[in-house]
Structure 1
Amino acid sequence: MLTDEQRQAYEQDGYLVVEDLLSHEEADAFLAEQEKEKEEVRGLGLKRYLADTSWSSLAKHGKICAIVSELMAGDPMIVQTMYMAKSPEGGTGVALHQDTHYIRNEPNTLMACWLALSDTDRDNGGLCVVPGSHKRPLYETASPEDDSEHAAWVKDYEMRDPDGKVWVEEMHSHQIVGLEPDEIRYLCVPRGGGVFFTSMTIHGSFANRSGSRPRLIPATHYVKDGTWVYRTDIQEVHSVS
């Protein structure tokens, strides 16, 4: 499925852009379903793929899962799905972060596929990454300084370890400390394309300043079969088969 150059790029940079994962017809079908999604399905949040075939068809898409399996060298299990739409009138982004901060897992096999259902670039709040950041330990973080660009949130999550110990951790939006602007790479991803990245790769997005182009992005997080996910709200993972 992937070339040697693509695999090497993923290992070196911590992310990989792949075009033509979805046809325009598949993208249209998903967006149409979101327009009529029932409230009880929307209420499932990160687990909508369990009750909505439009979500499960993306999370289990053959072309996507083949690449995920190749990159993680194992059988992918679905952890969660998310829909991140930004309006053209300044819809805020997600401050740059590493997913491991929010989805602790052991061993750390977590990775994501971020899908573009609209053409995305810097102007409409497309994904940005820090190449090579996955090769370092977790970066220091602090609270975001600019809430006009990035959404701010605080939430408690129940955690459970493999021995059954349960506790609660407060998680919140943050930004990476000491990150220089020239380290950030802004990606252009055409409609139907996607970005695969590791849980240690710094990534995020800024506000949509285009004035005319929405940014429509579903994403799925996967772990390799046999991985323990600590957060109880997403601890039960599901096979892509």
Structure 2
Amino acid sequence: MGITYTPKSRKRDDRYLVSVKEYTQYHRDGYLIVRGLLSKEDIDKLYDLAERTKAGSIKPVETSKMADSDNSDNSGSANEDPLKSEFVQQTRVHMVSRLDAAAEWGMLHPRVLDVTEALIGPDVYALQSMMFLNPPGRGGQGWHQDSYYIKTHPDTMVGAWMALEKVDEENGCLWVVPGSNHEPIYPPEGNNAGNVHAVDAFKDLNTVENVSHLDDEMNTLSKVVAHYPPPIPVPMQAGDVLFFHSHLFHRSFPNRTEDRYRRSYVCHYCNARSWIPWDHDGYEGETGNYRQILARGRTHLAYAEPAFGTEVFLSEADAESDSVRMMGMDDGMMMPVVQKKES
């Protein structure tokens, strides 16, 4: 016996409808740029969020912990976390959506979720938010794959990179390797952070070291990137949103300008039928699903509601739909047969 499920979100006048060409391009190349997805008013609200973050009014507990750790370790080792100082100096801030209503609104922006729902839905969890400031001389992240850090099972994660101002090669735009989304996730040595793929399922899936390090000599994932044609930059304007697959090889360089920031708001999502053995702020038990916001559709798993009351458009599917069972036919084939529910 089964229950039919025809997912359908509520209609809106400003809903973004994804084209088949866009869907195909995302799954072929691993990324999709939707130009002008966010309005000027939307960007003004997120830009203000960035400025308040820069002023220090949004400060996660993790920043203080990292600062203490940084003060106690001044070894200057080339192997130290290349992103550590960026967090300490708050040029990037994690999980602002759990600290600020505007940040939650941005992560749950309906037009961003319209695209996400079409690419990985119909059921969507909102997992993570990050505000990037990247002032002159700072920022940048070496080659990496996002699912190296955040695992979902099934493996369904997607990122949404929202440009809050002009982004180009000078102030540190993203660089991507088209088609690299078809690569597996290259794991670190050992299984301390879990795996995306079944252990020992591959005969030649090599481990990598110093993922995200800006130095390609240190970051051994760069050896895999070298098998592809040259990476391409992704310049963007305020309001453009880049959706990218969690296996895609991507990176950025430090901001080379003297008078420009590179403000962007980056959020991650996955299908809400995925089991998530992760949560940024920690959790109890074997999964952090109950910390993730159900943003679209439905789920049979635990989930959270928006802490600041941001409206989400969940499925209007009828829970009392007709049931379906499979019936054996005389020719040996199985056919679905709908059983009407009694009124």
TM over 0.5: yes
Q: Which amino acid is the alignment partner of residue 247 of structure 2? A: M
The correspondence for 1:231, drawn from 278, 288, 300, is 278
1:79 aligns with 2:124: no
1:91 aligns with 2:158: no
Distance 1:115 1:80 in 2: 14
Q: TM-score, normalised by structure 1?
A: 0.81
Is the CA contact (8 Å cut-off) linking 1:141 and 1:177 kept in structure 2? no
Distance 2:37 2:59 in 1: 25
Distance 1:14 1:32 in 2: 30
Corresponding residue of 1:142 = 209
Alignment CA distance shift 1:19-1:177 (3 Å): same
Q: TM-score, normalised by structure 2?
A: 0.58
Alignment CA distance shift 1:219-1:65 (3 Å): same
Corresponding residue of 2:29 = 13
1:176 aligns with 2:222: yes
CA apart distance, 1:71: 0.3
CA apart distance, 1:21: 1.7
Aligned residues with identical type, % of pairs:
26
Question: Which residues in structure 2 correspond to 1:86-125 (within 5 Å)?
Answer: 86-88=134-136, 90-125=137-172
CA apart distance, 1:73: 2.8
Deviates more, 1:7-16 or 1:176-185: 176-185
Question: Which residues in structure 2 correspond to 1:181-192 (within 5 Å)?
Answer: 182-192=229-239
Alignment CA distance shift 1:4-1:226 (3 Å): closer
Count of equivalent residues: 218
- SS of match in other structure, 2:248: coil
Question: Which residues in structure 2 correspond to 1:187-202 (within 5 Å)?
Answer: 187-202=234-249
CA apart distance, 1:130: 0.7
Where do 5+ consecutive residues of structure 2 fail to align? 1-16, 62-92, 187-206, 282-287, 296-311, 313-343
Distance 2:169 2:56 in 1: 32
Alignment CA distance shift 1:40-1:135 (3 Å): same
Is the CA contact (8 Å cut-off) linking 1:95 and 1:175 kept in structure 2? no
What are the Cα deviations for residues 76-128 of structure 1, in whole angstroms up to 9, with x where unaligned?
A: 1111100111112x213011110111001111011110000011111210011
Q: Which amino acid is the alignment partner of residue 25 of structure 1? A: E
Deviates more, 1:227-236 or 1:18-27: 227-236
| Over 4 Å off, 4+ runs | 37-41, 144-147
CA apart distance, 1:143: 2.2
Corresponding residue of 2:113 = 65
Q: Which amino acid is the alignment partner of residue 177 of structure 1? A: K
- SS of match in other structure, 1:177: helix
Instruction: Look at both structures and tell me which one has the larger radius of gyration over its CA atoms.
Output: 2
Corresponding residue of 1:43 = 60
Deviates more, 1:182-191 or 1:138-147: 138-147
Distance 1:144 1:50 in 2: 27
Alignment CA distance shift 1:214-1:182 (3 Å): farther
Question: Which residues in structure 2 correspond to 1:186-225 (within 5 Å)?
Answer: 186-225=233-272
Bigger relative CO (Cα 8 Å, ≥ 6 apart):
1
Distance 1:52 1:145 in 2: 28
Alignment CA distance shift 1:33-1:92 (3 Å): closer
1:129 aligns with 2:176: yes
- SS of match in other structure, 2:224: coil
Corresponding residue of 2:19 = 3
Larger strand share, 1 or 2: 1
Distance 2:279 2:211 in 1: 26
Distance 2:23 2:213 in 1: 36
Alignment CA distance shift 1:231-1:122 (3 Å): same
Distance 2:57 2:253 in 1: 30
CA apart distance, 1:5: 1.6
Alignment CA distance shift 1:92-1:35 (3 Å): closer
Where do 5+ consecutive residues of structure 1 fail to align? 153-172
Is the CA contact (8 Å cut-off) linking 1:134 and 1:201 kept in structure 2? yes
- SS of match in other structure, 2:143: coil
Note the aligned Cα RMSD (angstroms).
2.5
Is the CA contact (8 Å cut-off) linking 2:173 and 2:235 kept in structure 1? yes
